């Protein structure tokens, strides 16, 4: 089968079309004929060699988000889906197992129906970023009425965090560049402030006692801590976990912890159907244009997800 992978880390040009064996379906797994795979920052990290992949089979195939058609259900797979259904799923890449491929085999718990009325391209933008936002909010466990700060709110994960937090009954204060203010307001943020290192100080102007929690999609790290009340928690997404003052705690999360939370993934599907979540596509391009997609993503300013089509 055709896939997009790398034989050694490098620039976006390291990505190339490769031919891989069709993966076998084992106990509890399902096969998806992939039609779309979203391009995420984590894919560029893997491609550039910033992640330890020692001992993994080559070529390395990136990608954590897929959408397509359910093609096969393995023995013992617990699912209400049927062959031929439009589905979406989250992939935890390892070696040649990644989303940038014509077919992918996943645990049944990593797959659910695509949102009704969505295209495969649109559906592929939801699983990984949606589950990351859901995990962030579940980890914080803030009760309705609490105040949440979200940095990187114009991004895919940050945007889902804003929308899910509002659905959870939270007050959301978010950051945005001037050109993205309308977008973030449209996502439902109650207060939108300029992004950057001064975000925390501006939050304190709005909430003198500090906010109850934060989802740090922009990776401000220590710079976001002053926005928090004493004892508040900041959710981080790249492993940042440093000591802070006033009892403020940094809590890194890994979306792999939710990769088999099928019910949570299906709830995201329902929320997309209900209009609670917006499926944001920047552009769909043929899979062979993966190098160009990686270059565009790394250049910054992409709103919504670039998606590879197969």
Tell me, letter by letter, the H, E, C secondary structure of 155-214.
CHHHHHHHHHHHHCCCEEEEEECHHHHHHHHHHCCCEEEECCCCHHHHHHHHCCCCEEEE
190, 173 contact by CB (below 8 A): yes
Q: What is the pLDDT of residue 27?
A: 97
> Which segments in the chain show pLDDT lower than 50?
none
For domain 129-255, the CATH architecture is 3-Layer(aba) Sandwich (3.40)
Name the residue ranges covered by the structural domains of the chain. 2-126+279-309, 129-255
Within the chain, strands assigned E span 2-5, 16-19, 29-39, 65-73, 86-90, 103-107, 111-113, 147-151, 171-176, 191-194, 211-216, 228-236, 249-252, 281-286, 305-309
Of 3.90.180.10, 3.40.50.2300, 1.10.8.10, 3.30.465.10, the CATH number of 2-126+279-309 is 3.90.180.10
Q: What is the pLDDT of residue 239?
A: 84
117, 273 contact by CB (below 8 A): yes
Token pair of 186 as six digits: 């449209």
- How far the first Cα of the chain sits from its last, in Å, is 11
Please report which residue ranges of 60-126 form alpha helices under DSSP H: 120-123
Based on its alpha-carbon atoms, the radius of gyration of the chain, rounded to whole angstroms, reads 19
CA 132/CA 64 separation, integer angstroms: 12
Token pair of 271 as six digits: 């929320």
Helix and strand numbers (H, E) in the chain are 8, 15
CA 281/CA 67 separation, integer angstroms: 13
10, 97 contact by CB (below 8 A): no
List b or e across 168-186, with b for residues whose CB sees 16 or more CB atoms inside 10 angstroms: bebbbbbbbeeebbebbbe
Half-sphere exposure in the Cβ direction for 84 (13 Å, CA) = 0
Q: What is the pLDDT of residue 244?
A: 83
């Amino acid at each position: 089968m055709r896939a997009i992978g790398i034989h050694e880390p490098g620039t976006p040009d390291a990505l190339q079309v490769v031919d891989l064996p069709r993966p076998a379906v084992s106990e509890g797994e399902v096969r998806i004929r992939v039609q779309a795979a979203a391009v995420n920052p984590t894919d560029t990290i893997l491609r550039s060699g910033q992640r330890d992949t020692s001992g993994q089979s080559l070529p390395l195939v990136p990608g954590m988000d897929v959408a397509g058609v359910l093609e096969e259900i393995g023995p013992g797979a617990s699912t209400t889906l049927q062959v031929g259904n439009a589905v979406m799923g989250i992939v935890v890449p390892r070696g040649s197992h990644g989303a940038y491929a014509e077919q992918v085999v996943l645990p049944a718990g990593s797959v659910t129906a695509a949102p009704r009325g969505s295209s495969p391209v649109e559906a592929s933008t939801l699983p990984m970023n949606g589950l990351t936002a859901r995990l962030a909010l579940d980890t914080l466990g803030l009760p309705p009425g609490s105040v949440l700060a979200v940095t990187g709110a114009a991004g895919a994960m940050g945007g889902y965090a804003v929308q899910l937090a509002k659905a959870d009954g939270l007050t959301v204060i978010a950051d945005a560049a001037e050109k993205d203010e309308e977008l973030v307001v449209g996502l439902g943020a109650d207060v939108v402030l300029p992004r950057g290192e001064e975000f925390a100080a501006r939050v304190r102007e709005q909430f003198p006692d500090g906010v109850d929690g934060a989802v740090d999609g922009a990776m401000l790290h220590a710079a976001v801590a002053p926005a928090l009340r004493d004892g508040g928690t900041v959710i981080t997404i790249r492993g940042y976990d440093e000591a802070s003052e006033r009892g403020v705690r940094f809590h890194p999360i890994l979306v792999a912890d939710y990769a088999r939370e099928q019910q949570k993934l299906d709830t995201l599907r329902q929320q997309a159907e209900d209009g609670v979540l917006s499926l944001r596509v920047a552009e769909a391009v043929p899979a062979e244009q993966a190098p160009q997609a990686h270059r565009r993503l790394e250049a910054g300013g992409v709103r919504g997800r670039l998606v590879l089509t197969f």
